[in-house]
Amino acid sequence: GESVGLHLPTLSVQEGDNSIINCAYSNSASDYFIWYKQESGKGPQFIIDIRSNMDKRQGQRVTVLLNKTVKHLSLQIAATQPGDSAVYFCAENKPNSGYALNFGKGTSLLVTP
């Protein structure tokens, strides 16, 4: 079926290192992708997004890469900080449903000192 999924359910990195969180999608019709961060007890918070006509987009300490050939999306966090510890979700626009977002299951990022 068509779905958005994550390669790693948990990721542990040391403070100061770079983090890479991966996501696979299966719907080639999706044209918009987005990453959210969710801290415990809070709602998902927007990090960065990218449209399918781009393959890279940078924000503050974060970069999203899109590889449409293999239907792969990644989030790179530079110089990871303890405050980056959270669950990260990728999402794609949901075709045939007015562009409501379809979320993956999430990757838990733990930053150790």
Written as six digits, the tokens of 106 are 């999430």
Does 94 contact another protein by CB under 8 A?
yes
100 binds another protein (CB under 8 A): yes
By the rule CB under 8 A, 89 interacts with another protein: yes
Note whether 69 binds another protein by CB under 8 A: no
User: What tokens appear for 61 in the block?
Assistant: 């300490």
Of 86, 87, 90, 85, give the one whose Cα is nearest residue 103. 90
Stretch that binds another protein, among 10-18, 19-27, 33-41, 56-64 (CB under 8 A): 33-41
Contact yes or no for 54/33 (Cβ under 8 A): no
Q: Which two tokens stand for residue 24?
A: 């696979």
Record the tokens describing residue 55, joined without a space: 């393959």
Which region, judged by CB under 8 A, interacts with another protein, from 44-52, 53-61, 63-71, 78-86? Answer: 44-52
Q: Tell me which residues touch another protein (CB under 8 A).
A: 31-32, 34, 36, 41-46, 49, 89, 93-94, 97-106
